[in-house]
Amino acid sequence: VSRPPQPRDDSTVDRRHLLRLAGRSALGFGALSVLAACGDGARTSAPAPTRAARAPASTSSASAVTASTQDGEPTASWWERGNFAPVTAETTAHALPVEGALPPELDGLYVRNGSNPRSPAGHWFVGEGMVHGVRLRGGRAEWYRNRFVRTPVYEQGELPPGPPGYANGYANVSVVHGPADRLLCLGEIGQPYELDPSDLSTIGLFDFAGGGALGPNVTAHPKIDPATGRMHFFGYGLLEPPFLVSYTAAPDGTLERVEPIGVGASTMIHDFAVTDRDAIFWEFPVLFDLDLAIGGEAMPFRWEPSYGSRIGVLALEGSGADVRWVEIDNGFVFHGLNAFRRGDEIVVDVCRLDSVFDDAPFGTQASHLHRWTIRDTGTQLTFRSERLDDAQLDFPFVDRRFVGRPNALGFFAEFEHLDGAPIATSLVRRDDRTGAIERWDGAGLQLGEPLLVPAGDGEGEGWLLSFAHDQASGLAGLVVLDATNVRAGPVATVHLPVRVPFGFHGTWVPGDPT
């Protein structure tokens, strides 16, 4: 167990100084709206110009990612090409054609969020949030809608002045069916925005009942305990401490726990894990860099190996001061699959990269499933890590009924690099009891995060849903697979009349939001 590193002089941000700089320059704070999103776990920083940057990006350790033609003209970055490119229209379509047979028990809304910039963006993670939803009922696909999330960024057509956080975020990373039956869009930077599941319209900012204690930023990856219904989550600070805060919301949406945690600097922390009694945080050496932000970097984080990496274990009911840390090898993790207690050990399965936001071109690094085993003697933590598979897996999805409990199954998207871009081309079911991987190869379609809608009592019994992009037609489908027989491919495909760009994370809202 070790103490977190102490803040260094150059990691302590003087917010007043920052505000003065922003007030003097034409840059504003657009460049600070860093949106750390999600994906295949294969990305690094991208010093392409941002929409807000009127000055060149500052010196960065990251290499340029924008290719050039022979005459030197820049070509589009991969997140501006193919099915990464945004769409402009908001579409409503009813009575969608279905190929195959939709399971009648699928009664609810599948909805997925993503970054959909309305002006050129300097990074895949940066752009207005757009949700795409399909309402399924009685074996029919009743409607499809896509809607921008009505944040101030959307309403004003540009990033509002002022520091990022609170209302000032894109809400573009995930959508979660959260406490008090609320449907929340989350963006990691900024607070949640609530949607109406009946038509995907934006209700407004959601800061929890008894709010006011909620900090500026909320992770896009909260965890809902299947036994208690409590939502555990965290936020990290960019400009000033606390740089990490652990939260718990009651099932009725009341914010009942706010616990600042001492860490040495503002680092990008995209996800975490919970057991039935612990919150597990991972901190890697990806530091928020004010100079990069002021210089107009779309993603102002830098790889700083000397900062080190560590895992923090904190009781779900505990004080932030009681967090215990164990040092680990440098690397980076966007997404965890699950965590659970096993005797005096905590098992955490994650999709791990060797590094990120370093010199490697954005999007080229592979993510692999690793198992962290943390032995907890009560006073001391020890750590070991093993790679579980060589497949390039990310977008992990655990049966939500097993969050924090021993799980045998994991669902993933499997990625390839095509024309320089990370593309999900298979959906995968991995059985940890045997290590066996079963995959559907996508039949030439390009895929997204697999989402499990439970049906039946056993782990992994249910339906696996993902948007799919058909390059031939340029249109999207919603594929539905039997999660117990992934290799058989879709039992049904809902054909959509439009393209659905690659995005990040989705959820299922059961029942009847009309």
Q: Which amino acid is at 114?
A: G
To Fe ion, the closest distance from the beta carbon of 396 in angstroms equals 10
* Alpha-carbon span 390 to 428, nearest angstrom: 13
In the complex with Fe ion, which residue's Cβ is closer, 38 or 326?
38
In the complex with Fe ion, which residue's Cβ is closer, 38 or 333?
38
To Fe ion, the closest distance from the beta carbon of 449 in angstroms equals 9
In the complex with Fe ion, which residue's Cβ is closer, 38 or 183?
38
To Fe ion, the closest distance from the beta carbon of 36 in angstroms equals 8
To Fe ion, the closest distance from the beta carbon of 335 in angstroms equals 5
* Alpha-carbon span 44 to 64, nearest angstrom: 10
Which phi-psi region, left, alpha or beta, contains residue 104 (left: φ > 0; alpha: ψ -120 to 50)? alpha
* Alpha-carbon span 226 to 233, nearest angstrom: 14
H/E stretch holding 87 reads none
Say if residues 88 and 157 touch (Cβ distance below 8 Å): no
User: What Å distances lie between residue 172 and 74, 90, 153, 192, 494, CA to CA?
Assistant: 27, 16, 11, 10, 24
To Fe ion, the closest distance from the beta carbon of 42 in angstroms equals 13
Sketch the per residue contact string, 106 through 135, with Fe ion: x for CB under 5 A, - otherwise: ------------------------------
* Alpha-carbon span 314 to 367, nearest angstrom: 26
Say if residues 414 and 446 touch (Cβ distance below 8 Å): no
Stretch that binds Fe ion, among 36-44, 93-101, 229-237, 281-289 (CB under 5 A): 36-44
Task: Output the furthest CA–CA distance in the chain (Å, rounded).
Answer: 63
In the complex with Fe ion, which residue's Cβ is closer, 11 or 217?
217
Which residue number places its CB atom closest to Fe ion? 38
To Fe ion, the closest distance from the beta carbon of 350 in angstroms equals 12
User: What Å distances lie between residue 165 and 44, 45, 258, 316, CA to CA?
Assistant: 22, 20, 17, 25
In the complex with Fe ion, which residue's Cβ is closer, 325 or 467?
467
In the complex with Fe ion, which residue's Cβ is closer, 128 or 376?
128
To Fe ion, the closest distance from the beta carbon of 76 in angstroms equals 24
CB atoms within 10 A of CB 497: 11
Residue 416's DSSP bridge partners are 423
Q: What angle do CA 47, 53, 57 make, to 5 degrees?
A: 35
To Fe ion, the closest distance from the beta carbon of 345 in angstroms equals 26
**DSSP character for 63?**
P
In the complex with Fe ion, which residue's Cβ is closer, 128 or 394?
394
Stretch that binds Fe ion, among 22-30, 37-45, 225-233, 378-386 (CB under 5 A): 37-45
Closest of 188, 365, 386 to residue 272, by C-alpha: 188
**DSSP character for 264?**
S
Q: Is 333 in the site for Fe ion (CB under 5 A)?
A: no
To Fe ion, the closest distance from the beta carbon of 247 in angstroms equals 18
In the complex with Fe ion, which residue's Cβ is closer, 130 or 326?
130
Closest of 86, 94, 140 to residue 117, by C-alpha: 86
Residue with tokens 């019994």: 461
In the complex with Fe ion, which residue's Cβ is closer, 98 or 176?
176
**Tokens of residue 426, six digits:** 């298979």
* Alpha-carbon span 269 to 427, nearest angstrom: 26
In the complex with Fe ion, which residue's Cβ is closer, 135 or 352?
352
Stretch that binds Fe ion, among 31-39, 235-243, 275-283, 295-303 (CB under 5 A): 31-39
To Fe ion, the closest distance from the beta carbon of 94 in angstroms equals 31
Which phi-psi region, left, alpha or beta, contains residue 363 (left: φ > 0; alpha: ψ -120 to 50)? left
Q: Is 38 in the site for Fe ion (CB under 5 A)?
A: yes
Q: Is 48 in the site for Fe ion (CB under 5 A)?
A: no
Residue with tokens 């034409």: 26
To Fe ion, the closest distance from the beta carbon of 176 in angstroms equals 11
Residue 437's DSSP bridge partners are 430
Q: What angle do CA 12, 16, 20 make, to 5 degrees?
A: 125
Residue 310's DSSP bridge partners are 283, 327
* Alpha-carbon span 101 to 106, nearest angstrom: 11
To Fe ion, the closest distance from the beta carbon of 38 in angstroms equals 2
In the complex with Fe ion, which residue's Cβ is closer, 38 or 350?
38
Residue with tokens 């879709």: 490
In the complex with Fe ion, which residue's Cβ is closer, 38 or 214?
38
Stretch that binds Fe ion, among 30-38, 106-114, 341-349, 436-444 (CB under 5 A): 30-38
Burial class (CB in 10 A: 0-12, 13-18, 19+), 93: middle
Stretch that binds Fe ion, among 38-46, 345-353, 436-444, 495-503 (CB under 5 A): 38-46
To Fe ion, the closest distance from the beta carbon of 41 in angstroms equals 9
In the complex with Fe ion, which residue's Cβ is closer, 11 or 174?
174
Size of the site for Fe ion (CB under 5 A): 1
Residues that bind Fe ion (CB under 5 A): 38
